[in-house]
């Protein structure tokens, strides 16, 4: 009976079931809501700024490291800037870096993985050795070197682009360049198993070009684990960004990110611990929420739970 019901389920029905399975995952559902609120709050940071009648760049040397007050709900930092607004703007940067870098990684990784898995042989060996090589690279020292490269000396004129933006692009670029290996391996594995499925053989027998087989028959059927892995990696990237910024190699002040806010707060640890606790808490919550979200998606998108 249940078999029949499932067998006749329409695509919309499947989507509904997936949503249902996801919502049953309490932590994942709560995480999705928390992340949604974080996104909204970050997106509306300029509005909050205007409503509160403060400018994020306002340095108020008469109000350094103040506790919470009516004018500054979370207090002020070591330069007298409003902590709440800086946290929201920092969230913009951290979430942007996390998501964009994760998506770039997923695209690069999927492309390399599907090519390696589908064509096999020498191309596979070559691409997988490159992947192993990238995994083996000592990433932190390399990042320190990359972060220290002065683009203007390499011939890039810094016209129109300010330093802060460059540090943002740089960190996204660097994380994507080193972060695709996991997805590449995942995609290669999925491609190898899908390649043996009869519908892929059938497509080749019906005259489909390799490009079409990969695009129509392999990629859509391998995308669920990639979505899960990408979601899980966002948390890691946000952590990574905060580590780099904490070391002074990531997002450059005065642009706030959760990582460089931690960095700025470290000298004030003994007299103003809240300056460190707030951004630390934001990173903690966001990373945790992305991990729960990934777990929830894993269950919801699990193909074994579907009658395909």
Residues making contact with other proteins (CB under 8 A): 7-11, 197-199, 201-209, 212, 216-217, 220-221, 307-308
45/200 with CB nearer other proteins? 200
Q: Report cis status (omega within 30 of 0) of the bond before 254.
A: yes
268 and 275 in contact (C-beta within 8 Å)?
Answer: yes
Q: State the nearest-atom distance from the C-beta of 306 to other proteins, in Å.
A: 8
144/216 with CB nearer other proteins? 216
174 and 141 in contact (C-beta within 8 Å)?
Answer: no
DSSP 46-94: HHHHHHHT--TT---TTSTT----SSSTT-B-TTS-BHHHHHHHHHHHH
Q: Which of 148, 140, 186 is nearest to 167 (CA)?
A: 148
139/208 with CB nearer other proteins? 208
Q: State the nearest-atom distance from the C-beta of 188 to other proteins, in Å.
A: 19
23-41 b/e with 16+ CB inside 10 Å = b? eebeebbebbebbeebeeb
Q: State the nearest-atom distance from the C-beta of 197 to other proteins, in Å.
A: 5
19/281 with CB nearer other proteins? 19
Q: State the nearest-atom distance from the C-beta of 201 to other proteins, in Å.
A: 5
DSSP 164-207: HHHHHHHHHHHHHHHH-HHHHHHHHHHHHHHHTSHHHHHHHHTT
Two tokens, residue 36: 């949604």
Q: State the nearest-atom distance from the C-beta of 118 to other proteins, in Å.
A: 14
161/216 with CB nearer other proteins? 216
Q: State the nearest-atom distance from the C-beta of 6 to other proteins, in Å.
A: 8
79/208 with CB nearer other proteins? 208
How far is Cα 295 from Cα 276, in angstroms, rounded to an integer? 29
């Amino acid at each position: 009976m249940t078999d029949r019901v499932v067998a006749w389920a329409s695509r919309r029905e499947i989507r509904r079931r997936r949503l249902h399975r996801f919502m049953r995952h309490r932590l994942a559902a709560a995480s999705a809501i928390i992340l949604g609120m974080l996104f909204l709050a970050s997106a509306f940071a300029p509005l909050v700024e205007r409503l509160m009648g403060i400018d994020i760049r306002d340095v108020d040397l008469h109000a350094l490291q103040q506790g919470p007050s009516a004018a500054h709900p979370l207090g002020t930092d070591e330069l007298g800037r409003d902590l709440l607004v800086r946290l929201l703007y920092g969230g913009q940067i951290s979430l942007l870096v996390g998501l964009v870098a994760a998506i770039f990684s997923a695209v690069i990784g999927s492309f390399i993985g599907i090519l390696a898995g589908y064509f096999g042989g020498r191309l596979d060996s070559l691409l997988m050795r490159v992947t192993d090589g990238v995994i083996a690279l000592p990433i932190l020292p390399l990042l320190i070197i990359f972060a220290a490269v002065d683009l203007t000396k390499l011939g890039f004129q810094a016209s129109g682009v300010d330093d802060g933006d460059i540090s943002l692009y740089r960190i996204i670029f660097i994380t994507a360049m080193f972060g695709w290996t996991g997805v590449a391996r995942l995609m290669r594995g999925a491609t190898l198993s899908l390649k043996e499925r009869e519908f892929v053989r059938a497509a080749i027998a019906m005259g489909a070009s390799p490009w079409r087989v990969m695009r129509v028959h392999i990629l859509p059927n391998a995308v669920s684990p990639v979505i899960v892995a990408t979601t899980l990696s966002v948390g890691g990237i946000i952590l990574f960004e905060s580590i780099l910024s904490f070391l002074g190699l990531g997002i450059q002040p005065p642009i706030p990110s959760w990582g460089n806010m931690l960095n700025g707060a470290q000298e004030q640890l003994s007299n103003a611990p809240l300056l460190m606790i707030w951004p630390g808490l934001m990173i903690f919550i966001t990373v945790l929420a992305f991990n729960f979200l990934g777990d929830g998606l894993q269950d919801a998108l699990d193909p074994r739970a579907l009658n395909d």
